[in-house]
Amino acid sequence: MTYYISSDKQRLDIDKVHQAIKASYWGNYRSMEMTKTTIEQSMCFGVYSEMEGQLGFARVLTDHVVFAYIMDVIIFEPYQGKGLGKKLIQYILDQPEINKVHTVALKTKDAHKLYDTFGFQKVGDSDMWMAMDKAKYN
């Protein structure tokens, strides 16, 4: 499958993103207004195919120096299991605004193996928090 990733928010299919978030375990409480606000206030990434439109979505909150928080990583049905989630995470981590950040964190209930491959590690006793910490402490 030929795909591309874009950070152009104008390309996002917000209705499709919202429906996927509403169907998730983490975002089922969100209204359309909430989804739109999260998109407006975040760096957003869409996975697209010329033939099939938007295939996936993720967003990041960051201060561009110390911390970045990856959220709402979704590959839409029926595109799951094709490696697009890995490609999307790698693309995000390669962005200069994210690559130079000291700590990148996320929460997941069911995708620990995916994030392990990128160097994320469990945070403390949390079953959900994971982080990749490049900070140097004296």
What confidence category does residue 134 fall into, taking pLDDT thresholds of 50, 70 and 90? confident
End-to-end CA separation in angstroms for the chain: 47
Quick one: tokens of 23? 């169907």
Q: What is the DSSP string of 20-41?
A: HHHTSTTTTT--HHHHHHHHHT
Quick one: tokens of 27? 């975002």
Identify the CATH assignment for 4-133 out of 3.40.50.1000, 1.10.8.60, 3.40.50.620, 3.40.630.30: 3.40.630.30
**What's the pLDDT at 138?**
64
- Per cent of the chain over pLDDT 90 is 91
Average per-residue pLDDT for the chain: 94
The answer to whether residue 1 scores a pLDDT higher than 90 is no
The stretch 74-89 carries a mean pLDDT of: 95
**What's the pLDDT at 19?**
96
Name the residue ranges covered by the structural domains of the chain.
4-133
pLDDT in tens, 32-66: 999 999 999 999 999 999 999 999 999 999 999 99
Would you say the pTM of this structure is higher than 0.85? yes
**What's the pLDDT at 14?**
97
